[in-house]
Amino acid sequence: MNRVFLVGDNIDTDQLAPGQYMRGGIEELARHSLEAVRPDFASSVRPGDVLVGGENFGIGSSREQAAEALRHLGVACVIAQSFAGIFYRNAINLGLPVLVGKDLSHVEDGDPCRFDIDAGELALTAKNTTLRLEPLPENLKQMLSDGGLVPHLKKRFAAKRKDEARQ
Amino acid sequence: MAATLAQKIIARASRRVSVRPGEIVTAGIDLAMIHDSGGPRRVEPILKDLGVGLFDAGKVVLISDHFVPGDTDEGARILELTRAWAKERKVAFHDGQGICHVVLPEKGHLKPGMFVVGGDSHSPTGGAFGTYMFGIGATEMAGVLATGEIWLRVPETILIEWQNRLGTGVVAKDMMLALCGRLGMGGGKYEAVEYTGEAVRALSMQERMTMSNMAAELGAQAGLIAPDRTTADWLAAHNGDAGDWQSLFTDPDAAVLEHHVFDAATLEPQVAAPHSPANAMAAKDAPATAIDVAYIGACTGAKYDDLAAAAAILRGQKLAAGVEMMVAPSSRDDQKRAEDEGLMKVFEDIGARILPNACGICAGYGTDRLGEDVTCISSTARNFQGRMGANSSKVWLGSPLTVAASAIEGRVADPRHHLPSEARA
């Protein structure tokens, strides 16, 4: 059973990927993700869990380890009322779904949940409530379904080479 | 059709006659800037994986600044790798010359109307030159280096107009902290912010750079200032070329998302309390706060103009008992000029430790870091918890003048009481 981890507004990239653990690689960095605001997060989050934030999730640095750490921990998606632009782009590029949900007032920490990216929904299973999330633009949906920017580009380059070979 | 400055630049870069806010377009890259932290060590493995080279080595600039001076084993290794890559890939490389956001324009790489990405969140600095520039992560940068293009959602423009002139002892950093306080760190909504008004036009290029840089703290994608004679003259003096800048402005009848008006004349020196630039208040209203460290550094706080302002306050003064001061000039050129004019001697005389021309403590990557429970006042852009050192350390933000005045008083202080007499007159 997957659960919601609830955090507040203005979660910043230094909280997601603290600079002092930057040298240790993603493994170590992920162990310290969010420890300044939620010391229990990294040790208790399990693959498939969902992180729900408030306004302006991911403000700050361009360090993509902020998104990479969450992906490394197996977070299925981040849902927030709004995202900081660079974090949002980084997350999609790394294949971590990020979705905007305008009304998250019913979400409580620890809520059992099921996330469906195709439907763009978060089901709070114990509450019989389903939250509709804002749909992603087509280009980003494609990027996520390819697994992120690198696999997406590989696909594109492979198609181009095939085209050139054919001519 | 009436267009904003942002729309004009994006339309050209995406080879369109015009673009509408909200459209997703693919833009061609005029220049890509990378640094030692998010650059070669992270993009090269992806380029290898993709099996492609650089889209155009002539449009890539590499600058080392985050791990300079290489005072850890890891840092030294990263710098070596950075140097080797610059040679192998034959890109323009500025090694240990200073912080990327300052060095890039200083070496003449930016031009009004260009569409540029940087591998660092403070890349909106380029907006000071009428360049549409924004920060991206390393994976996305690898994609840019491989393809020479990037997607973006055409932004709305948020006009921020500063009427009248700044008072004595009030500078661009104060304008930006006030904006962070008023609009919040999400106030820029990842749209294009454009600064206008008499006070902005009166700013030097380095002060404009501080404004554009901290568009990142407003959460904007870009922080633009329409190029003018000041821009053209500055670029001409820095091996640059303003090109055809006259058409690069927001048409008076162009639609904007928001238009905020502020009065520069009534603005007072600002500070931001830990741990957010949005915790801004007038320095005179700050609660009594003793400081341990005064730091003049970073892309928004240690350029030549910043050093000159701080030195004017520190000349002939003494640091308060127990206060440690550090100064990390933003670039070698700026430090050289400050040396020639006797400004660096002011910092040395007062007992400040001079750090290398690099990101220094602001990035928190080297051996110089804030210890447990240390309270620092800093001219940097960002005061997130744990960024500059221990999680228990606390960083107040202020202008270089405010940091200097606080170093003398030993507590968060209003710089106006410390202005040299000729400035006060």
Q: Which residues of B touch A64 (CB under 8 A)?
A: 38, 137-140
Helix axis angle for A138-146 and A85-93, nearest 10°, is: 40
pLDDT for res B425: 45
**Closest among A109, A118, A163, A165 to A144, alpha carbons compared:** A118
How many CB atoms sit inside 10 A of residue B246's CB?
11
**The token pair that represents B174 in the structure block:** 């104060």
Provide the H-helix boundaries in A24-73: 25-31, 41-44, 65-72
Structure pTM? Answer: 0.95
Residue B169 has pLDDT above 60, yes or no: yes
pLDDT for res B423: 66
Q: Please indicate if any CB of chain B lies within 8 Å of the CB of A81.
A: no
Task: Sheet containing B157-163: give its strands across.
Answer: B222-224, B192-196, B157-163, B258-263
With a pLDDT cut of 70, the percent of chain B lying above it is 99
- pLDDT band at A22, cuts 50/70/90? confident
Q: Please indicate if any CB of chain A lies within 8 Å of the CB of B76.
A: no
Distance from CA of B19 to the nearest CA of A (A): 17
Closest residue of A to B134, CA-based? A86
**Inter-chain contacts counted by CB atoms under 8 A, chains A and B:** 109
pLDDT for res B37: 94
At B284-324, the pLDDT tens digits run: 999 999 999 999 999 999 999 999 999 999 999 999 999 99
Residue A106 phi, psi (nearest 5): -85, -10
CB contact under 8 A, B387 and A19: yes
| B positions 9-28 inside 8 Å of A (CB) | 24
The Cα–Cα gap between B326 and B352 comes to: 5
Contact B116, B98 (CB under 8 A): no
At B376-397, the pLDDT tens digits run: 999 999 999 888 999 899 999 9
Residue B57 has pLDDT above 90, yes or no: yes
Contact B132, B99 (CB under 8 A): no
Mutate: best of A9, A11, A14, A152, partner B, most B CBs <10 A: A14
CB contact under 8 A, B46 and A84: no
pLDDT for res B366: 85
CB contact under 8 A, A90 and B139: yes
Distance from CA of A20 to the nearest CA of B (A): 7
Q: Please indicate if any CB of chain A lies within 8 Å of the CB of B393.
A: no
Q: Please indicate if any CB of chain B lies within 8 Å of the CB of A15.
A: yes
Q: Please indicate if any CB of chain A lies within 8 Å of the CB of B182.
A: no
| Mean pLDDT (whole number) for A81-85 | 96
Residue B424 has pLDDT above 70, yes or no: no
- Of B186, B365, B391, nearest to A56 by CB-CB distance is B186
**Closest among A122, A120, A160, A159 to A140, alpha carbons compared:** A120
Cα separation values, B273 from B10, B104, B252, B395, Å:
37, 31, 37, 7
The half-sphere exposure of B30 on its side-chain side, counting CA atoms within 13 A, is: 19
Contact B39, B119 (CB under 8 A): yes
At A102-153, the pLDDT tens digits run: 999 999 999 999 999 999 999 999 999 999 999 999 999 999 999 999 999 9
**Closest among B397, B326, B402, B383 to B358, alpha carbons compared:** B326
The Cα–Cα gap between A159 and B138 comes to: 24
Cα of first residue to Cα of last residue in chain A, in angstroms, is 52
Q: Which residues of B touch A23 (CB under 8 A)?
A: 72, 74
pLDDT for res B391: 87
The ipTM estimated for the assembled molecules is: 0.91
pLDDT for res B422: 66
- Of A12, A15, A62, nearest to B137 by CB-CB distance is A62
Instruction: Supply the mean pLDDT for chain B.
Output: 97
Distance from CA of A136 to the nearest CA of B (A): 12
State the amino acid at position B273 in one-letter form: A
Mutate: best of A13, A32, A59, A98, partner B, most B CBs <10 A: A59
Q: Are strands A121-124 and B115-118 parallel, antiparallel or unpaired?
A: unpaired
| Mean pLDDT (whole number) for B337-348 | 98
- The DSSP call for residue B35 is E
Residue B123 has pLDDT above 70, yes or no: yes
Contact B410, B290 (CB under 8 A): yes
| Mean pLDDT (whole number) for B1-24 | 97
Contact B164, B198 (CB under 8 A): yes
